[in-house]
Structure 1
Amino acid sequence: MRGDQVRLNNGLIMPVIGMGTYTFKNDRKSTEQAVQLALKMGYRHFDTARIYGSEAALGGALNEAIANGIVEREEVFVTSKLWGSHHHDPVSALQKTLMIMGMEYIDMYLVHWPVRLKAWVCDPIPKEDEFEPLCLDVTWSGMEKCLEMGLCRGIGVSNFSCKKLQNLLDFAFVPPAINQVEMHPMWKQKKLRDFCRDQNIHVSAYSPLGGPGNLWGSTVVIEDPLIKSLALKHRATPAQIALSWGLSKDVSVIVKSFNQERMRENKGALDLKLEDEEILEIDSMFKEMKILRGEVFVNQSTSPYKTLQDLWDYEI
């Protein structure tokens, strides 16, 4: 097994650095150009979601690269996600995703949040009257059907706590291969990582740099004095230090930048190895800050989550 790959519990091989394609600008041309550039740099793992609005751009760029012989379909690992308004029928939702992307299958399909919304909701910030009770057994049955039909090669979840994962494992015929969650030096997720390791579920880190440049992101990770001092010591960048720390925890990282220099910089984290003492230094950082907290999924009337602690099961 190469050091830049991980084998999942379903046998799939996945590159440990993935390129995220979320952009609040929803600019198809710039997304396609960024994906094409990433492919030339050697990126082979790409992450999208229906709610991101980037499925068409990612599919278009990948299909063009495949047609031009730049990459084979089997060399690329593609992830998309089931939005809350599609929990009632994951099969139809994934079929629509495949139509949008112009693909026969994707490699990984994730339940984006443990939140079920009314079928017509298409806004990333749902209104108070747009929630429905979460029926995770029904949702997961649909996810398993997607796998059975060959629409995807693996299924998993995103933003699930230990408790929600255990609940899922209690009835799932196919266990989730991945739990994609926020993780970075300021939000280390040790309890969740330990639980997932014991259950053979791979943790994939989104916002491994804290999400700078996103509407909800922060520069707190890459501006931390310890991270910056280690970057100076290694003649690296703060981003590379943060990513190297994440990779040292046997997780994959989803990085999102359309800037050529930063894309190259992010991939360069694979060549940086922190010393054990340095990893422990970061582990011991007192700061803990979850940036994407999910307040939009909490309300006192229609949501199953009345508080953030309900959503995260006191893991926040």
Structure 2
Amino acid sequence: MPPPSLKLNSGHSIPTIGLGTWQSKPGEVAAAIKTAVAAGYRHIDCAHVYQNQKEVGEALKEILDEGKVKREELFITSKIWNTFHSEAKTHENVGIILADLQLSYVDLMLIHWPQGYAEGGELFPAGENGKMRYSDVDYLETWKALEAAHKAGKCRSIGVSNFTSKQIQRVWDAAEVKPACLQVELHPYFTQVKLREFCKEKGIVVVGYSPLGNPGSAFFRKDGDPNVLTNEVVAAIAKAHGKTPAQIVLRWFVESGLSAIPKSVTPQRISENFAVFDFQLTPEEVSQIDGLDKNWQRILENFSVFDFKLTAEEMKSIDELNRGWRLVDPSPRDGDHPFFGFNDEF
């Protein structure tokens, strides 16, 4: 049975739980994808900047050649990188991505960030004082190129990542093909309620990256940062259901009408993170988790989450964890860019 999915305004559907591939090392990501597909995953989230898409492509080709799943059963996401924002470069990046993945189309193509970097060189073109060398390309130009790629059948749905409500509205107003999806950092410590409400009004599906607060990453985490998976509220709900804290958080995503892309290369965790469909949270539990928000945004793991449901009380408990804590914050690098949006309210 395929995992539950959410309907996109493009007419296609995106699975509620997918496998993230950011920070998956060479030699690990292919095995992770094979394990995930065998466990039931159908959504694989990729990006040009992750620099592992060729290995992803080899894994996908092997899976498809063996007939384990059909191409139409998979949902593959990728993202246009910051150094490819001009119209010509966007089309170039689409071509590179499809070649790396060995696919004729992706199911969802996103603009990775609204701010563009200097084109034609390194992925992170360094400037002075730790800043990037920016481009002045408007992301509306990038969007128009994605619309053309969509019409050409190369991207079945298109959307944005790390955009604020103001930036999404600007794209929406100019778009012929409306954004189908927004991917942002989202977890119980950073629940993005206002942004989610904005997207819901427009029929835009929200996908959360770092859904577990990125507990294993030294890239963004700092000493003393809170860990969602050791939170007392989450731990208590997990004990009540006989589930892991990660499964409780991922179930909270499912019951909140969200999609999540936990990253893991560990077979046990990959399977575990998908086993979240056999239980429900109570409304109170959902509310409790909602209340954990710390505005804690942290950029970035799980798949046994479809065989159970959380009660309303349990959902409330997770909701109350929200404390607005942002993990991923590129402002030291990109804060001076005219299209940097993290200073917006939401």
TM-score (norm 1): 0.92
**Cα distance, 1:126 vs structure 2:** 4.8
Query: Equivalent residue of 1:123, what SS?
Result: coil
Query: Given the alignment of the two structures, is residue 11 of structure 1 paired with residue 14 of structure 2, yes or no?
Result: no
Distance 1:238 1:125 in 2: 39
Query: Given the alignment of the two structures, is residue 189 of structure 1 paired with residue 192 of structure 2, yes or no?
Result: yes
Give yes or no for contact 1:51–1:122 (8 Å, CA) kept in 2: no
Distance 2:195 2:279 in 1: 25
Give yes or no for contact 2:82–2:112 (8 Å, CA) kept in 1: yes
Larger mean CA deviation between 156-165 and 283-292 belongs to 283-292
CA distance 1:124–1:212, change in 2 (3 Å): farther
1:140-176 residue CA offsets vs partner (Å, 9 max, x unmatched): 1111011011111110000111111111111111111
- Which residue of 1 is the match for residue 209 of structure 2? 206
Distance 2:325 2:41 in 1: 29
Unaligned stretches of 5+ residues in structure 1: none
Distance 2:260 2:126 in 1: 27
**Cα distance, 1:288 vs structure 2:** 2.4
- Which residue of 2 is the match for residue 311 of structure 1? 342
1:173-209 residue CA offsets vs partner (Å, 9 max, x unmatched): 1111000001111001110010000011000011110
Letter of the aligned partner of 1:283 in structure 2? D
- Which residue of 2 is the match for residue 64 of structure 1? 62
Give yes or no for contact 2:108–2:158 (8 Å, CA) kept in 1: yes
Distance 2:211 2:132 in 1: 33
Q: Given the alignment, which residue of 268, 275, 282 partners 2:275?
A: 268
Query: Equivalent residue of 1:132, what SS?
Result: coil
- The aligned length equals 308
Query: Given the alignment of the two structures, is residue 30 of structure 1 paired with residue 28 of structure 2, yes or no?
Result: yes
CA distance 1:312–1:267, change in 2 (3 Å): farther
Give yes or no for contact 1:181–1:204 (8 Å, CA) kept in 2: yes
Distance 1:66 1:194 in 2: 38
TM-score (norm 2): 0.84
**Cα distance, 1:284 vs structure 2:** 2.4
CA distance 1:129–1:255, change in 2 (3 Å): closer
List aligned pairs for 1:46-61, cutoff 5 A: 46-61=44-59
Query: Given the alignment of the two structures, is residue 109 of structure 1 paired with residue 109 of structure 2, yes or no?
Result: yes
Distance 1:23 1:36 in 2: 17
Letter of the aligned partner of 1:265 in structure 2? E
1:207-243 residue CA offsets vs partner (Å, 9 max, x unmatched): 1101122322466111111111111111111101111
Give yes or no for contact 1:49–1:82 (8 Å, CA) kept in 2: yes
List aligned pairs for 1:275-286, cutoff 5 A: 275-285=282-292
Letter of the aligned partner of 2:292 in structure 1? M
Identity %: 34
- Which residue of 2 is the match for residue 135 of structure 1? 138
Give yes or no for contact 1:50–1:82 (8 Å, CA) kept in 2: yes
